Structure 1
Amino acid sequence: MNRRDFIAAAATMAVPVTLNGFDLRAFTQNSALVRSVAQAGAANSDRILVMVYLNGGNDGLNTVIPLEYYPAYNQLRSNIAIPEKSVLPLAGSPETGLHPAMTGLQQLYAEGKLGIVHSVSYPNPNFSHVRSSDIWMTGVDSDQYNSSGWAGRYLNNRFPGYPEEYPNSEMEDPLAIQIGYVGSTSLLGNKQSMGISLVSPDEFYQLVGQESFVPASDLPCCDSGDLIRAIRQQQVLAIEYSSEIRKAASLGKNLATYPGDENELAQQLKIVARLIQGGLKTKIYYVEMGGFDTHSAQVTNSSTTEGVHAVLLRNLSSAISAFQKDLQMSNLEDRVMGMTFSDFGRRASSNASKGTDHGIAAPMFLFGTGLKRQIVGTNPDLANDLVPPSSAGQNNQDLKMQVDFRRIYQDVLTDWFGTQQTKSDELLFKNFKTTSIFSGLVQTIGSGKWQDRSIWSTGRPPGPKDSVQINKGHTVLLGNNVSVKNVHVSSGGELEFTGNYSISTTN
């Protein structure tokens, strides 16, 4: 970890980072103490992101089920709706439940290691698999295009000089690894992919070999010479990385029991855990599972709790659960954060083929011990959060977006990886407001009534356990009694009481 990232990451931790009893946050970046600590390196405690792509567009409404709106839910999709009694309840969140196949994620939620972000999408959504997945992976507006991925740009910024100056003594391992043959757009940097793709460590080593390649000194000029040079550079990278990957795979050992070979995602995450345990310093891992384009036969004729979608969700849940258990048993879970994403959601209304068609919003899962809150946003109100609204009397209805997916990316960059806010704005091409999923502080992101979910970073009004901050330029109107942990009104912010109401604080 370089000095800037060490300081930035330390500053975001809830527990002070100390050395010999001194809080590192009390020292400036130019402090000799901080410089010496940063130069010593903190690779073994550096943070890792695992991206899980659900290829095809997951049906979010049968994944995270809004129990508080169950009658409307059942009416919208009566031929595929999960029976209310079969929905898995979430500890402390009785209004929300999971598909009955997701017992592993239900347990992670109870342990505080699973977060749910409701109704995630982007403005002016596109319903093409190719285009929408490209938007998610590049992190651009739906009317914009870019040849680099959001994660690739982050790695480009964090590791300047790649690939020419890598591997080196500071970073001898691949920056990113995708388990699979086809590289993800998410990992594309400004010039090339910032990661490598492999199916297994041993196969990659056997494919690449171990002989160092000595390039000729008399390369031809111009484009042909540049092309040969680039090919040789990739060959050298592959050879050197294959040795490091194989070494990590031999040192790592899976301590948890994973589902069998029929669960491809579990086998991918098993490799990831093994490489992390083996000491590989790779920052981002990318895995995926397909099959989520469930236009028909999403459920069986005999039971809506079984079928194609149930198998997918069972595999997803059991794979993530085993992976998290593996990290826990290896004392590594505090270093790793995972998140799921998909092309798009699916419509609130089911179709006549016992399936769902391409839609707008769907939930995202985040998993790991670094979460500071477990719910962002609210259950979609199946009367008022539909497009068109239920009052229009149309059957082909969709779910409105509550949270732009790039707000999650922003939080991953700034709060998880420790990137400076101005730099993350640059990497995502604009400023996106925090969701506070890695923070104990609920902030305003606009003005309005206290009970208006859209003015709060968490997408829901603050509760008794929340610390609240009203930011500069925002006015919040309080029209009822509320209870929170504490409230801070920043200079230039306003809190106005519209009647004889009060705020009780628990701290």
Structure 2
Amino acid sequence: MNPNFPDSPARRLWLRRTGGLLAASLGVGTLGSLVLGTRPAYAADYKALVCIYLYGGNDGLNSIIPTDTSRYAQYAAVRGRYLSIPQDRLVGLAGVDYGLHPALAPLAPVWEAGQLATVFNVGPLYAPLTKKQYLAAAADSPLIPESLFSHSDQQALWENGTSTTTETKSGWGGRASQTLGTVNPVISIAGNCLFGVEDLRIPLVLPGPGSSFAAAGLEGDDLEWDAMRRRRTALDAMYAQSYAQQMRNFYTQQHENAFDISARLSEILAAEPGDPKANAIIDAAFAGVTNNGQIDDALAGQLYQVAKLVVNSAAVRGNRQIFFVGLGSFDTHGNQVTSSSPLAGIHADLLTSLGQSMAAFQTAMNNVGLADRVTAFTQSDFGRTFIPNNSLGTDHAWGNHHFIMGGAVKGGKTYGTHPQLVLGGPDDVGQESWELQGRWIPTSSVDQYAATLLQWFGASDSELDTILPNLSNFGSARSLGFV
């Protein structure tokens, strides 16, 4: 223990706080004050990506559903009276033969505005794969992604953009930040994530609205206390020194950066709807999910933070920013619906959160004039089995449907190939009677999905090949064309 800094509750609190700031500062970015009710200043070529991760495996088959007579009949026959969404309750989407789960109704106006699209049957792939190839492949064939139907492994494959968990320890968002040389690493409001890991940087992890993000006693008004002011002066003096050991210099720099980040971020992150330093335009967009000045919905709170950081993009620094948010509990093996209604249950509650939060975020981006600069997209572990289980739920599958949202999206359309809704059909991995569950072989890969987003983000073809090592296996079909 340093005798100049005796142990005390204040010292222990400072160590806990600065430890968290040090972890955050490994991806260093500086942010300034929040813009209040005006169009934000931003780089002329500013762009942001927002990854919305649905942990547990969202049931895409009940999120967007065919509405034409023949395919809806196929859907309803397999999903049954408990799990199938009544056709007259689906939220119709203009221009396509699909409808949304009623809980996603807030997204219908976004679709009608041409700012929302869906991509069918996306999943981890090494290369294009047919059912014949799948059944003929050896157990160790690279054609078969590692540990199919496993939560942790499939989360890793979606986040790292490969087909094996051992191929890389970084995420495709992190590799994009590294390859493109962004000022900040991936900024996560959902805790640590593989998606944002680089070779030498980890995600900058930030808290939700109303949270403290500062070194206790060593910043702001606390420095009026003589003892804390002297401690801060001593720390600043240590940070200004140069040491013979590189690791010591690096460690010192991270602490200095942590103070810099906290000083710039604390007021922005702490602002909640209605606060004097909040943004009136963003607050208005999130009014539908705000209760007495607080955003109770976890995903909405995360996207509220992202909206504030996007609005403040000039102070965040850099013309390219990648954000990560997440929503959990999509592993709906049981009680996905209730026995009394397929419109109630865990899945409906989760989709309500997703629909309201995404719609609020897009409203905010439209109203601050940055809609065409920000593209949000969903990811999830995998889809769910077409056939229900005996617990009013569904089990682990493979290919899944995803949403892309933003002013640059070629919205009001669907992309990719919808699976044939036939148990044991050409898209179902099952062959024997016991395995005919409707676990779709993806027809679009995570690589193509990510490449489409990153091409809009500004990555060149050679950079895409660096970021997404399996992309070249898909030949000229590198982009899915949704943005």
Task: With the length of structure 2 as denominator, give the TM-score of the two structures.
Answer: 0.73
| 3-state DSSP of counterpart to 2:336 | coil
The structure 1 residue matched to 2:395, chosen from 351, 357, 363, is: 357
Structure with the higher strand share, 1 or 2: 1
- The one-character-per-residue Cα deviations of 1:415-469 (angstroms, maximum 9, x if unpaired) are x211111111111114253334346xxxxxxxxxxxxxxxxxxxxxxxxxxxxxx
The structure 2 residue matched to 1:203, chosen from 192, 198, 212, is: 212
The structure 1 residue matched to 2:251, chosen from 227, 231, 246, is: 231
Structure with the higher helix share, 1 or 2: 2
Q: Does 1:422 align with 2:442?
A: no
The structure 1 residue matched to 2:428, chosen from 387, 403, 427, is: 387
The structure 2 residue matched to 1:84, chosen from 61, 84, 87, is: 87
The structure 1 residue matched to 2:170, chosen from 125, 139, 148, is: 148
Taking the aligned partners of 1:303 and 1:70, their CA distance within structure 2 comes to 18
Does the aligned pair in 2 maintain the 1:248–1:277 contact within 8 Å? no
* RMSD between aligned residues: 2.6
Taking the aligned partners of 2:63 and 2:375, their CA distance within structure 1 comes to 21
CA separation of 1:248/1:200 partners in 2, compared to 1, >3 Å: closer, same or farther? closer
What's the CA shift for 1:151? 1.1
The corresponding residue for 2:339 is: 301
Q: Does 1:408 align with 2:449?
A: yes
The corresponding residue for 2:138 is: none
Taking the aligned partners of 2:113 and 2:242, their CA distance within structure 1 comes to 61
Taking the aligned partners of 1:130 and 1:341, their CA distance within structure 2 comes to 14
Taking the aligned partners of 1:200 and 1:44, their CA distance within structure 2 comes to 28
- The one-character-per-residue Cα deviations of 1:229-253 (angstroms, maximum 9, x if unpaired) are 4433322222222233246564744
Structure-to-structure mapping, 1:443-482, within 5 angstroms: none
| 3-state DSSP of counterpart to 1:387 | coil
Taking the aligned partners of 1:157 and 1:296, their CA distance within structure 2 comes to 42
The corresponding residue for 1:167 is: none
CA separation of 1:96/1:390 partners in 2, compared to 1, >3 Å: closer, same or farther? farther
What's the CA shift for 1:391? 10
CA separation of 1:85/1:196 partners in 2, compared to 1, >3 Å: closer, same or farther? same
The corresponding residue for 1:179 is: 189
Structure-to-structure mapping, 1:327-346, within 5 angstroms: 327-346=365-384
Does the aligned pair in 1 maintain the 2:416–2:480 contact within 8 Å? no
Does the aligned pair in 1 maintain the 2:185–2:201 contact within 8 Å? no
Taking the aligned partners of 1:310 and 1:208, their CA distance within structure 2 comes to 44
| 3-state DSSP of counterpart to 1:198 | coil
The structure 2 residue matched to 1:70, chosen from 63, 69, 72, is: 72
Q: Which has the higher contact order (CA 8 A, sep 6+)?
A: 2
Q: Does 1:312 align with 2:337?
A: no
Taking the aligned partners of 2:365 and 2:185, their CA distance within structure 1 comes to 20
What's the CA shift for 1:104? 1.1
Name which of structure 1's ranges 260-269 and 362-371 shifts more when overlaid on structure 2.
260-269
CA separation of 1:103/1:281 partners in 2, compared to 1, >3 Å: closer, same or farther? farther
CA separation of 1:200/1:207 partners in 2, compared to 1, >3 Å: closer, same or farther? farther
The corresponding residue for 2:4 is: none
Taking the aligned partners of 1:91 and 1:192, their CA distance within structure 2 comes to 43
What's the CA shift for 1:379? 2.8
Structure-to-structure mapping, 1:266-305, within 5 angstroms: 266-279=300-313, 280-281=316-317, 283-305=321-343
Q: Does 1:128 align with 2:138?
A: no
- The one-character-per-residue Cα deviations of 1:278-311 (angstroms, maximum 9, x if unpaired) are 3334601111010100000100111001110000
- The one-character-per-residue Cα deviations of 1:92-140 (angstroms, maximum 9, x if unpaired) are 11x2111111111122111111110001112334211111111111111
The corresponding residue for 2:297 is: 263
Does the aligned pair in 1 maintain the 2:416–2:443 contact within 8 Å? yes
CA separation of 1:334/1:77 partners in 2, compared to 1, >3 Å: closer, same or farther? same
- The one-character-per-residue Cα deviations of 1:307-362 (angstroms, maximum 9, x if unpaired) are 10000001100000011111111111111100010011111111010100010111
Q: How many residues align?
A: 380
Does the aligned pair in 2 maintain the 1:156–1:194 contact within 8 Å? no
Name which of structure 1's ranges 396-405 and 320-329 shifts more when overlaid on structure 2.
396-405
The corresponding residue for 2:25 is: none
Gaps of 5+ in 2: 1-40, 126-143, 220-231, 270-276
What's the CA shift for 1:201? 7.2
The structure 2 residue matched to 1:104, chosen from 94, 103, 106, is: 106
| 3-state DSSP of counterpart to 1:115 | strand
| 3-state DSSP of counterpart to 1:339 | strand
| 3-state DSSP of counterpart to 2:51 | strand
Taking the aligned partners of 2:255 and 2:180, their CA distance within structure 1 comes to 23
Structure-to-structure mapping, 1:490-501, within 5 angstroms: none
CA separation of 1:242/1:48 partners in 2, compared to 1, >3 Å: closer, same or farther? same
What's the CA shift for 1:263? 1.4
| 3-state DSSP of counterpart to 1:243 | helix
The structure 1 residue matched to 2:478, chosen from 434, 445, 455, is: 434
Taking the aligned partners of 2:212 and 2:117, their CA distance within structure 1 comes to 35
Taking the aligned partners of 1:44 and 1:251, their CA distance within structure 2 comes to 24
CA separation of 1:230/1:360 partners in 2, compared to 1, >3 Å: closer, same or farther? same
| 3-state DSSP of counterpart to 2:212 | helix
What's the CA shift for 1:197? 3.2
| 3-state DSSP of counterpart to 2:111 | helix
Taking the aligned partners of 1:44 and 1:96, their CA distance within structure 2 comes to 37
Gaps of 5+ in 1: 1-40, 161-170, 440-507
Q: Identity, % of aligned pairs?
A: 29
The corresponding residue for 1:377 is: 416
The corresponding residue for 1:504 is: none
Taking the aligned partners of 1:87 and 1:404, their CA distance within structure 2 comes to 28
Name which of structure 1's ranges 355-364 and 427-436 shifts more when overlaid on structure 2.
427-436
The corresponding residue for 1:496 is: none
Taking the aligned partners of 2:426 and 2:261, their CA distance within structure 1 comes to 49
Does the aligned pair in 1 maintain the 2:122–2:449 contact within 8 Å? no
| 3-state DSSP of counterpart to 2:102 | coil
Q: Which amino acid aligns with 1:412?
A: L
